[in-house]
Amino acid sequence: MKIRINKKLLTVFLTFIAAVIVAILIFPIYVIIISSFSPRTSVFQPFEFIPRETTLKVYSDVLFSPTSHFVPRLVNSIIVSLLSLAITLILVIPSAYAFSRFKFAGRNSLLYGYFAFNQFAGGMGLAALIALYAILNYFNLLNSLVILALIYASGGVPFNTWLLKTYFDTIPKDFDEAALVDGASYLDVMFRVLLPIAKPGIATVAVFAFMGSWSEFIIAQTILLSDENYTLPLELYQLLASPATNWNRFAATSILYAIPIVVVYMLAQRYLQAGLAMGGVKR
Amino acid sequence: MARILLKNLTKRFGNVIAVNDLSLEIKDKEFLVLLGPSGCGKTTVLRCIAGLETPDEGEIYVGDTLVNGLPPKERDVAMVFQSYALYPHMTAYENIAFPLKIKGLAKSEINQRVKKVAELLKITHLLNRKPKQLSGGEAQRVALGRALIREPKAFLMDEPLSNLDAKLRVYMRAELKRLQKDLGITTIYVTHDQVEAMTMSDRVALINQGILQQVGPPEELYQHPHNLFTAGFIGSPPMNFIDCSLSREAGKIYLDAGTFKLPLENYRAEALKERNIGEEFVLGIRPEDIKLEKKEKKDSIQGQVFALEPLGAEVIVDIKIGETIFKVRENIFFKAKVRENIWLSFNKNKIYIFDKKSGAAL
């Protein structure tokens, strides 16, 4: 009996701790949300937990005011992210299929090379960035959205290939073989059989590729030289860096910037669930 | 529709020889079962024919075509997998239609042929379902439909019934056999279940450790096994074996099992005439070729009832002679108590003698 009471108390205590931590984590988001609806340009003096006045004017300013750069930056971000997503899928899907299904010369070296790249790429960050800048400068390729998308995509290729290869590995080879005997070519096997089955894996890769490009700041900051090529993360930075930070404009831009991420997550989730419910091979 | 010819087929996986110099002809319209314990290489043979494995040596003909270098899609054989391998993202209809769609046939023709196959297999009502909404037996039929629709030269079936429950398996056995006869499509069927092999096949090819042991109609393998392996593999309960050595007394030839001596007559005695005394043999006798008596008779062997296994219509009586257990098939009305003394007489026309070293039947 004693033990049970203690357990209950423990649960209450832990829940309380968790709630506090969650509150601390959510607080900045809350501040951003309320300030995006507040007519006052300063959030903190004095801080209002529940704002007395609310307005949508900030959002309409961000979206429609001629002084706002939001829409062109959004277009840039969309171009870069979708392009990088497309390049990622075009590169990753066939190579993951090949790594999962075929034995070829250099297969293992490549796979381990990819693995090593994943481990060390982060650590080489700054040096790699400087080298990248020098190379692009030499070939006169700086300040290009297409090049930026290419860099994003190629940076993710090793990880995403591993991820999708691992997913393909979980799909029984029986499907490939049944299709081959049914008269399919290897391309048929990939497009008509494996890709539809691997939708959840592909959705995961797509989410990673899109998010990675959408939220990347440092490389964009380094290679995009002119304002008109800036992506949204750079726009956010500029809003912060201006001498008199307009906090509610920054807040509204942040919220708008986050919406696509939420949407992509929700779309991907539907695919993931559909994938989990499938089953054709009896185990 | 075509015969399939395997010539000196050999397939190695590293140091393991999965299929060893196998030659076999499967006749047109024949139902041939590749039988053997798991890991004996039977599935590898099937996969070589389908083009999913490349043999290291030997030739494979489908019809008159040498198919060794051809990819699976150009071999015109259909395969049913143990797992069924139904494409999970497609409905039953799309699964069955898949081979025709790949070929690029017109929609109307595909539709017509899917309908026909579905009617044949009685799965018309299942066509809109996805594989996960199908029971084992239904999935099995859809997988069959996908193989049937192409009207291939041959069917390759890899343990297609092993995932079904016992009752459905017995039902599908007859169903499949009938279907094969009606369609007259050459079929190679892989199984480790000797009952399936016996009941379904025109001929059985028994394989062990990659080597073809014997091929022939099931009753031939049962009645005239060429070696110990075949004798022991075919039949349930399996043939009784006991190690013996040759002995001679007063001009007569005996097999001495230690616990008993069996006099040999006629051609069996003749066959062993030239052999040396003390040479080792294995005596084999099927459970139904032993009669049990409550009293001693001439040439009968004494044993003790070890256990009774009633099967409804009959009973398997386990008899202990020395350290060996003999299984005897008896009428269900046979009554005996455990540990009771009992006498066995062998049907002398039905005993099998194998050379112990080579395993070959004499």
- CATH number of the CATH domain containing A253: 1.10.3720.10
Nearest by CB: B99 against A182, A185, A196: A182
How far is the alpha carbon of A191 from chain B, nearest alpha carbon, in Å?
12
User: What token pair was written down for B196?
Assistant: 């399936």
CB contact under 8 A, A279 and B131: yes
Q: How many domains does chain A have?
A: 1
Q: Assess B98–A contact: CB distance below 8 Å, yes or no.
A: yes
What is the per-residue DSSP string for B4-49? EEEEEEEEEETTEEEEEEEEEEE-TT-EEEEE-STTSSHHHHHHHH
Q: Tell me what the mean pLDDT of segment B2-20 comes to.
A: 94
Q: What is the mean pLDDT of chain A?
A: 86
**The pLDDT of residue B327:** 95
Percent of chain B with pLDDT over 70: 100
Q: Which of residues 21-50 of B touch A (CB under 8 A)?
A: 50
Inter-chain Cβ pairs, chain A and chain B, closer than 8 A = 88
Which of A118-132, B118-132, B254-268 has maximum average pLDDT? B118-132
CB contact under 8 A, B139 and A196: no
**The pLDDT of residue A282:** 41
**The pLDDT of residue A50:** 79
**The pLDDT of residue A281:** 45
Nearest by CB: A182 against B102, B139, B156: B102
Beta-carbon contacts of A35 under 8 Å, excluding residues fewer than 6 positions away, are A43, A247, A248, A251
Residue to mutate among B46, B89, B103, B130, with most A CBs inside 10 A, is: B89
Structural domains of chain B, with CATH? 4-233 (3.40.50.300), 240-355 (2.40.50.140)
What is the per-residue DSSP string for A199-226? HHHHHHHHHHHHHHHHH--HHHHHH--S
**The pLDDT of residue A257:** 94
**The pLDDT of residue B304:** 93
- Domain membership of residue A28 (yes or no) is no
> For residue B178, which phi and psi values (nearest 5 degrees)?
-65, -45
**The pLDDT of residue A99:** 94
Cβ atoms of residues B79 and B86 within 8 Å? no
- Domain membership of residue A215 (yes or no) is yes
How far is the alpha carbon of A278 from chain B, nearest alpha carbon, in Å?
6
Q: Tell me what the mean pLDDT of segment A217-244 comes to.
A: 89
- Angle made by CA atoms A88, A91, A96, in degrees to the nearest 5: 105
Please give the span between the terminal C-alpha atoms of chain B, in angstroms, as a whole number.
39
The yes-or-no verdict on residue A204 having pLDDT over 90 is no
Q: Assess B350–A contact: CB distance below 8 Å, yes or no.
A: no
Q: Tell me what the mean pLDDT of segment B63-77 comes to.
A: 93
A139 by Cβ neighbours in 10 Å (0-12 / 13-18 / 19+) ranks as exposed
* Interval A82-135: pLDDT, tens: 999 999 999 999 999 999 999 898 898 888 888 887 777 666 677 888 888 999
How far is the alpha carbon of A100 from chain B, nearest alpha carbon, in Å?
16
CB contact under 8 A, B98 and A280: no
- Domain membership of residue A59 (yes or no) is no
- Domain membership of residue A41 (yes or no) is no
**The pLDDT of residue A224:** 92
The yes-or-no verdict on residue A44 having pLDDT over 80 is no
Lowest mean pLDDT among A211-215, A273-277, B112-116: A273-277
- A-chain CB neighbours of B98 within 8 Å are 179, 182, 184, 192
- The sign of the CA dihedral B144, B147, B149, B154 is negative
Q: Which domain holds residue A80?
A: 69-276
* Interval B235-260: pLDDT, tens: 989 999 999 999 888 888 888 988 88
- Domain membership of residue A25 (yes or no) is no
Cβ atoms of residues B148 and B84 within 8 Å? no
- Angle made by CA atoms B294, B296, B297, in degrees to the nearest 5: 115
Query: What does the alpha-carbon distance between residue A238 and residue B145 come to, in Å, rounded to a whole number?
Result: 64
- A-chain CB neighbours of B50 within 8 Å are 177, 181
Nearest by CB: B98 against A182, A279, A281: A182
**The pLDDT of residue A1:** 52
CB contact under 8 A, B87 and A193: yes
- A-chain CB neighbours of B51 within 8 Å are 180-181
Nearest by CB: A197 against B71, B81, B88: B88
Q: What is the CA radius of gyration of chain B?
A: 25
Lowest mean pLDDT among A120-129, A162-171, B66-75, B311-320: A120-129
The yes-or-no verdict on residue B66 having pLDDT over 80 is yes
CB contact under 8 A, B84 and A182: no
The yes-or-no verdict on residue A280 having pLDDT over 50 is no
- Domain membership of residue A24 (yes or no) is no
**The pLDDT of residue A279:** 42
- Domain membership of residue A44 (yes or no) is no
- Domain membership of residue A92 (yes or no) is yes
CB contact under 8 A, A278 and B89: yes
**The pLDDT of residue A4:** 63
The complex scores an ipTM of: 0.83
Cβ atoms of residues B159 and B200 within 8 Å? no
The yes-or-no verdict on residue A159 having pLDDT over 60 is yes
**The pLDDT of residue A229:** 92
> For residue B111, which phi and psi values (nearest 5 degrees)?
-55, -45
The yes-or-no verdict on residue A43 having pLDDT over 70 is no
User: What token pair was written down for B360?
Assistant: 């070959």
